Each structure stands twice: as structure tokens, then as C-alpha cells.
């Protein structure tokens, strides 16, 4: 599914947070939104997720007018820090959640859901944790469950906000490699937000550098490192290396 964003703007309380975003993401691409805190990355991701609304501009996903499509027709999987796992549900039930809340006519049967969850538990390498509760898991295991919940609905678009933000360096490295595998296997168009250059360049096919609500540059590691498009990009790359 391709994602086409045109002339998108958004303000909060009179302050511009997105100042005219134009961006096309090809079907199956893995793209990072990279930039300092406050540059508008999460706001853009939330709008694509349907959790927020732009002031102006268009958003088309595979030709469909995404902003006016009913939520249940969007098939988006997302992992946002503020949408944590349900603490009173087991890992299994957390992963199944997106399937069990479907309208009755579209809801798979119990056996189908159970089989799907088992398959995901294996794929996520947490097969032994299905009956635990989130508080009984490590940070890295929780992130795997959150991804499992997002993947259960077979999303055409997968959105991740600082997916490994709170984890230590070794776990981050493991999960990065693993996310790349998950992406290659599922083929879902994936956008993730990060302020970590290394993470962006190691994982993404293309990196979108944002600053103060604008896209400053789009490219791969070499293009952005060797030919920063603006003083902002040069400073940002230098400042966080
Ligand atoms: P980033 O993800 O790059 O850190 P955000 O998109 O989270 O940036 O935020 C961009 C700016 O918009 C920040 O200044 C933030 O305080 C502001 N902002 C984000 N969400 C809201 C909101 N719901 N209400 C008011 N201001 C917001």
C-alpha cells in the first residue's frame, strides 16, 4: 500500500506543528521519521493512524481517501507508547484483542483466533509466555507482545512510535534485527518514529529527517551523511553522532 501525504498542516493552540508535509511512501517500504524532540514526528504518525486530524492537506492510502474512511476499514497496526498492553489480560488475550473486537460478521471463530495467536507467539519467539500477564514480562518481551497485537490484524500499514525507546542497548539491537525480519516476512508498509540516528539508518530503507514541522531531507544513510540538504540537517547529524 502506498501512502501519499500532500500539503499537510497541523497546529496546536496556534502553534504550527506540521508546516506543509509532502511525502510518498511506497508499498512495502520501511521508513523512519527521524528528528529532534518536538519536530512533529509523533503528530504525523498519529494522523496516519487516525488518532488525530490535520488542519489541512490530504492523506491517501493505496488511492483511498484515508481521512474519510471508516476506522474499521483502515487495517492499521500501531504501537504507541501511550497505548500500552492491557494489564488485566494475558499475553494471549492482548494479542487476540484486535480480532475479538471486530464486528460479529467479520470476527473469526475462536479456534481460528487461537491458532493465529499461537502462530504469532512462535513467530515473536515468546511461545512460552502466552499465559503470563504484562507485569510478569521484561521490557523487551512486552514490546514483542505489543507488536504481536499490532500484527494480529494483518495490517497493511504498521506504525511504530519509538518502538524500542525505553529498552537497554543490547535489547534494542536484538529487536531492531528482529523487526527487520518481521517486516521482510509480512511485507507491510511500515513507518517508525525515532530520534536515534543509528536506529533509523540501520533499519530503514529511507530516512525522513524532520525539523520544526518540516521535512528537511529524505534519503539513505550515505545521502544524508555525505550531502546534508540544509544547515539544520548538518547540525542535527553532527550533534547526535
Ligand atoms: P516529536 O514526536 O517529534 O517529539 P510531537 O509531534 O510529539 O513531536 O510534538 C510536536 C509539538 O506539538 C510539540 O511542541 C508538542 O508539545 C506539541 N503537541 C503535540 N501534541 C499536542 C497536543 N495534543 N496538544 C498540544 N500540543 C501538542
Return per-residue pLDDT of the chain as tens, 241 residues. 689 999 999 999 999 999 999 999 999 999 999 999 999 999 999 999 888 999 999 999 888 888 877 776 777 888 887 668 999 999 999 999 988 877 777 788 889 999 999 999 988 889 999 999 999 998 888 988 998 998 888 888 999 998 887 777 887 888 888 788 888 888 889 999 998 898 999 999 999 999 999 999 999 988 998 899 999 999 998 864 4
Question: What is this structure's pTM?
Answer: 0.89
Choosing from 19, 38, 240 the residue with most ligand 1 atoms within 8 A of its CB, the one to mutate for a pocket test is: 38
Give the alpha-carbon dihedral of 110, 115, 117, 121, to 10 degrees.
160
Above 0.95 for ipTM, yes or no?
Answer: yes
Phi/psi of residue 40, nearest 5 degrees: 105, 10
- Ligand 1 centre to CA of 49 (Å) is 15
Atom of ligand 1 nearest to the CA of 161: 2
Q: How far is CA 236 from the centre of its chain?
A: 22
Burial 21-49 (b: 16+ CB within 10 A, else e): bebebeebbbbbbbbbeebbbbbbbbbbb
- From atom 25 of ligand 1, which residue's Cα is the shortest distance away? 12
Judge residue 94's burial from the number of C-beta atoms within 10 Å of its C-beta, 0-12 exposed, 13-18 middle, 19 or more buried: buried
- Residues contacting residue 123 through CB under 8 Å, at least 6 positions apart: 182, 185
Q: Which residues pair with 79 in a beta bridge?
A: 160
Atom of ligand 1 nearest to the CA of 40: 6
Amino acid at each position: 500500500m502506498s501512502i501519499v501525504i500532500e500539503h499537510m498542516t497541523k497546529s496546536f493552540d496556534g502553534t504550527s506543528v506540521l508546516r506543509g508535509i509532502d511525502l510518498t511512501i511506497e508499498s512495502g517500504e520501511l521508513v523512519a521519521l527521524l528528528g529532534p524532540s518536538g519536530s512533529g514526528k509523533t503528530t504525523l504518525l498519529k494522523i496516519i493512524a487516525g488518532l488525530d486530524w490535520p488542519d489541512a492537506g490530504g492523506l491517501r492510502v493505496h488511492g483511498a481517501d484515508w481521512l474519510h474512511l471508516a476506522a474499521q476499514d483502515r487495517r492499521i497496526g500501531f504501537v504507541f507508547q501511550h497505548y500500552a498492553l492491557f494489564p488485566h489480560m494475558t499475553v494471549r488475550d492482548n494479542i487476540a484483542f484486535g480480532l475479538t473486537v471486530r464486528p460479529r460478521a467479520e470476527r473469526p471463530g475462536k479456534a481460528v483466533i487461537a491458532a493465529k495467536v499461537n502462530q504469532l507467539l512462535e513467530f515473536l519467539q515468546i511461545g512460552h509466555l502466552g499465559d503470563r500477564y504484562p507485569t510478569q514480562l521484561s521490557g523487551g518481551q512486552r514490546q514483542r507482545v505489543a507488536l504481536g497485537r499490532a500484527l494480529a490484524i494483518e495490517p497493511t500499514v504498521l506504525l511504530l512510535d519509538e518502538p524500542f525507546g525505553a529498552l537497554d542497548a543490547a535489547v534494542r539491537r536484538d529487536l531492531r534485527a528482529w523487526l527487520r525480519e518481521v517486516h521482510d516476512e509480512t511485507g507491510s508498509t511500515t513507518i517508525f518514529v525515532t530520534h536515534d540516528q543509528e536506529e533509523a539508518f540501520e533499519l530503514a530503507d529511507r530516512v525522513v529527517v524532520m525539523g520544526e514541522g518540516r521535512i528537511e531531507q529524505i534519503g539513505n544513510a550515505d545521502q544524508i551523511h555525505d550531502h546534508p540538504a540544509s544547515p539544520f540537517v548538518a547540525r542535527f547529524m553532527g550533534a547526535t553522532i
